[in-house]
Structure 1
Amino acid sequence: MPRRSGNMPPMVRTRSTTAVPRAASGGAELPDPGRLVPLSPFDAFWVALPPVRRVFLFRSLPGVPFSNVVGTLRSSLAQVLPVFHPFAGALTYSPDSRALSIVLPDEWEGGSCGGVTFVEPETDLDFERLVEEAAEHDQDTLGQLVPDIRRDQLPAPVMAAQVTEFVGGGGGVALGVAVHHTAADGRGIWRFFEMWAAAAAGVEVDRVPAGSTPLHDRRLVRFHGDEELARLFLRQIAPNLPTIAPRQDPALDARRRLSRRTFTFAAPAVQRLKQRLAFAANIGTAPSTFAALAVHGWVSIARASGFADDAPVFAAFLADCRAYMSPPAPDTYAGNCVALCMASLSGSELAGPDGPARALVAVREAVAEAKRDPLRDLARWRTKFAAIPPGRAVILAGSPWFPAYGVDFGFGRPARVELASMNHDGEVVLVAGREAGSVQASVSIAAGKMQAFRDVFMAE
């Protein structure tokens, strides 16, 4: 269960905790117990960072008991796990080889490494407030709806799921999923959600069209020097393996409380933003939807933070580089295959009237550089990011193509989909919105900046 401060009331209460081991009789089987999935440098980069924690909120369906919802989600997860077998394993470190791998469990009766932990709680949280777009939340509320798979030391579970019943008011259901980032990037995780939802809706997993089965073999992203680079990342990020707990910065305890809020840009608003940026930057073609929203988020956070000096303000984001590897990695590769992109402009540049145009040029250049050579500067990713002065980075995550509201587990489309793992002052997470062409942007920022940010971000 999520960690809770000592004075926080128990708003989420666990009813039961079990494990989902394998497909039902007749379904596909998981690979042999003990099988290793060696990890790549792209995976090792995430070893000590918090897991990805996603929440789907569904309104209760009349006449459908909560037990039926749980049964459907459990059985369909069991069907999908053989296809996404690394998700059923444990992240492990081998001192002999000094390498990370995911190990499938030897036993399926439960325990820390015995399949995927499946938690069933109830809560008296206000469902309607959680799905209300205008509502402002602190960082702990959504986190209670996702299982906590963080560990201070390896081995650590790759995945856990939590299905929570809202017992007050009109009811509702939350599906919370935690996945360790070493197992997959955003593209791989969303493919998992799509397949799980399809299985829950009655689609047989073994009928996945040929050529679209998720691939987990890390040899598909191998390159010269990759093993040494993976060891370099481990020395930089988790020098005391198997301990992975990051060193605590005393300043973090005193940081201002973060607040989060969700905004939706309708399709016409997205198009107007892209056209304005293209005109301002004097480019012939409109920027991509991601570039437009990334630029808008970067500029808005910088201005809301009052950055108007000559010190740099950084924008950091990830670019899918499957198509740009040599040889290219298949589209169906589900492991991590993303390049770290960074752009910077001074606070005064971002605050100026041509700030959005300058930011667009910088973002486009960072993306173009990643496409030209996704491995360029790979060994310096960690040190470059660590060198950013505190408070001067804007983290841009997700993608407007991630189908957050297109996953239907048989209960209708979600009322709200959110990323619970947002813990940075100045973070924007993008997913496709509910309506065609719209984009949802969830924002985490120091509470005192939220109103100023909203005024800039949503200004037409």
Structure 2
Amino acid sequence: MAFDPPFIVRRLSTCSVKPSPPHSRTRCHLAHWDLAMLSSHYIQKGLLFSTPRHLTAVAIIERLKSSLSAVLFHFFPLAGRIAAEEALDASGIYVSIDCDGQGAEFTHAVVEGAPTTVASVRSPSSNVPLFVRSFFPLDGAVNYDGRSLPLLAVQVTELADGIFLGCCFNHVVGDGVSYWQFFKAWAEIARGGALQSNPPVHRRWFFDGSFEPPIKLPFTRPEEFIERFRMPVYRERVFHLAAGSIAGLKARANKESSSSSGATISSFQSVTALLWRCITRARGLPAKQTTNCRVACQNRERLRPPLSPEYFGNSIHAQMATATAGELLARDLGWAARLVHQAIAAHTDGSIRKAAAGWLAKPVVYKVSMFDRFSVMMGGSPRFDVYGCDFGWGRAVAARSGTAHKFDGKVTFYAGPEGGGSMDLEICLEPAFMEALVEDEEFTSNVSVAGMVD
């Protein structure tokens, strides 16, 4: 079991932080990728730091507030609010972001009770502690709640020997690429006083230029498209894959796979195939049960012409590989990896535009209930420069997330803290399935428990 000491997270202060200098009011129209996220949770990600020896807590808080104000000038949609307007003929609604500098929320908190340390948050030998969930504000909020809630909420929590910097980021505003783009820019300003990387691109992508925003959603009441997800009982653990283990998996997958095209299976695809197989085995699914492996894929570089790497918004689509449990486990890793490879390779400019046209013909707002309990979902990316977010007091020692989008079969990829191509895997499973996974020989022969790397 996870180490969960008796504790209270007490909020010392909460305030609103606005862009400085103020940004002129504007309306941000949303692409279909953004609108599809209205019923999803806020993105909840955060970084764990050891206490800087040369800075006091007061100095850290003041630096974070002032730099957040400065970075919000560049990322001004995060200081706005969701706006919903009924169509004149009452046939639907238009949703956009009212960027009027309403402000982001900033909270300073402290853990009281039993000492909560950096080591206990990392929890290298057990489940992620339940108290980590208290490091994130706006728990349970869906993106449409951003009509009244801030689109960005930050919580800085003091631990006995460290700090945790957690952010809740409205998913309508942007995806994981956008989240870490913002986080890195914030760190750059906190560290040096000016934005060093390229500024965000706020102009949204609209399908083929064949229509102009805004997009009308065919809903008249929130209950038609908003779902309040009841969090299931699950266990969450973080596992580590060293660069050498990943290289071995990739070599094995490519050796076992046969392809007339000669295409190489990537490290990510090899690890994804391993997880799909091992989680399916841990669940004990019947041989004839269909199971899907969904992978959140980026559109930015796949579009023609490609979107700017600094595109600030959502630009993702879930690709899917399918097999029965029986054939997935009867065949080798290379066979599963080839299915994943083919699904991702099929994600092209043409398929993206076809999917966009289909969505516009029949708009869909994604809900967690659409996910079936026999499948797995791969999110995040080992390419995100999580540990490059240096606020001026050294590298983070771990990355963790809140309760958002957590369900049985959800896997989130992070870069490993030591770099070099290593990965951390945040896996959520029902308790019995997690127990079976950590006993699975194929799984345990390739991973170790995260948190052991210094």
Q: TM-score range by the shorter chain?
A: 0.7 to 0.9
1:428 counterpart = 2:411: yes
Using the TM superposition, give the Cα deviation of residue 327 of structure 1 relative to its aligned residue in structure 2, in angstroms: 3.6
User: 2:97 is matched with which residue: 90, 96, 102?
Assistant: 102
Give yes or no for contact 1:281–1:361 (8 Å, CA) kept in 2: yes
**Does the 8 Å CA contact 1:300/1:453 hold for their aligned counterparts?**
yes
Q: Is 1:31 paired with 2:37? A: no
CA contact 2:36–2:366 (8 Å) conserved in 1: no
Partner of residue 397 from structure 2, selected from 408, 412, 415: 415
Aligned: 1:163 with 2:147:
no
Do the aligned partners of 2:42 and 2:169 also contact (CA within 8 Å) in 1?
A: yes
Q: Return the match for 1:458 from 427, 444, 448.
A: 444
Where does 1:149-228 land on structure 2 (aligned, <5 Å)? 150=141, 153=145, 155=147, 156-166=149-159, 168=160, 171-205=161-195, 208=197, 212-219=198-205, 223-224=209-210
Judging changes above 3 Å, is the alpha-carbon distance between structure 1 residues 265 and 84 closer, same or farther for their aligned structure 2 residues? Answer: same
- Against the structure 1 CA distance between its residues 445 and 242, is the aligned structure 2 distance closer, same or farther, given a 3 Å change threshold? closer
Q: TM-score, normalization: structure 1? A: 0.84
Q: CA deviation at 1:296?
A: 1.6
2:344 to 367, 377, 396: 367
In 2, distance between residues paired with 1:60 and 1:102?
A: 37
Aligned 1:278-357 pairs, distance under 5 A: 278-283=254-259, 284=262, 286-354=264-332, 356-357=333-334
- Measure, in 1, the Cα distance between the counterparts of 2:17 and 2:305: 37
**3-state SS of paired residue (2:335):** helix
Matching residue of 1:111: none
CA distance in 2, matches of 1:244, 1:174: 34
CA distance in 2, matches of 1:390, 1:132: 30
Aligned counterpart for 1:270 among listed residues 228, 246, 250: 246
Task: Classify 1:186/1:268 alpha carbon distance in 2 versus 1 (closer, same or farther; 3 Å).
Answer: same
Alpha carbons of 1:223 and 1:445: their partners in 2 closer, same or farther (altered >3 Å)? Answer: farther
Return the alpha-carbon distance in structure 1 between the equivalents of residues 162 and 366 of structure 2.
43
Letter in 1 for 2:150: P
The one-letter amino acid of 2:157's match is T
Alpha-carbon distance in structure 2 between the residues aligned to 1:322 and 1:282:
29
1:434-453 aligned within 5 A: 434-435=417-418, 436-453=420-437
Contact residue 188 and residue 390 of structure 2 kept, 8 A: yes
Secondary structure at the counterpart of residue 64 of structure 1: coil
Note closer, same or farther for the CA distance 1:351–1:94 as it changes in structure 2 (3 Å cut): same
Instruction: Say if 2:225 and 2:365, in contact at 8 Å, map to a contact too.
Output: no
1:442, CA displacement in angstroms? 0.8
Aligned pairs for 1:67-146 within 5 A: 67-96=58-87, 98-105=93-100, 114-124=102-112, 125-137=116-128, 140-146=130-136
1:367 positional shift: 1.2
Partner AA of 1:162 in structure 2: Q
Partner of 2:178, secondary structure, is: helix
Matching of residue 260 in structure 1 with residue 251 in structure 2: no
User: Would you say how many aligned residue pairs link Structure 1 and Structure 2?
Assistant: 421
The farther-off stretch of 286-295 and 341-350 is 286-295
CA distance in 1, matches of 2:368, 2:137: 28
What TM-score do the two structures reach when normalised by structure 2? 0.85
- Structure 1 unmatched runs, 5+: 1-7, 24-28, 107-113
Q: 3-state DSSP class of the match of 2:237?
A: strand
Name the CA shift for 1:385/1:366 in 2 (closer, same or farther; >3 Å): farther
Counterpart Cα distance in 1 of 2:212 and 2:283: 39
Q: Answer yes or no: is the 8 Å Cα contact 1:314–1:388 preserved in 2.
A: no
Quote the offset at 1:21 in angstroms.
Answer: 0.8
**What SS class does the counterpart of residue 295 from structure 1 fall into?**
helix
How many angstroms does 1:351 deviate by? 1.9
Structure 2, unaligned runs of 5 or more: 447-454
Give distance in 2, aligned partners of 1:37 and 1:303.
46
Deviates more, 1:378-387 or 1:259-268: 378-387
Residue of structure 2 aligned with 1:13, choices 10, 15, 18: 10
CA displacement 1:378-427 (0-9 Å, x = unmatched): 43695998896741121100111011222111111111111223511011
Please give the alpha-carbon distance, in whole angstroms, between the structure 2 residues aligned to 1:100 and 1:9: 43
Aligned AA (2:155): Q
CA contact (8 A) 2:117 2:162 kept: no
Change in Cα spacing, 1:383 to 1:38, as seen in structure 2 (3 Å) is closer
1:126 deviates by 4.1
Q: Deviations over 1:189-221 (max 9, x none)?
A: 11111111111111412x54xxx3210111466
Alignment CA distance shift 1:81-1:220 (3 Å): farther
Contact 1:87 1:159 in 2 (8 A): yes
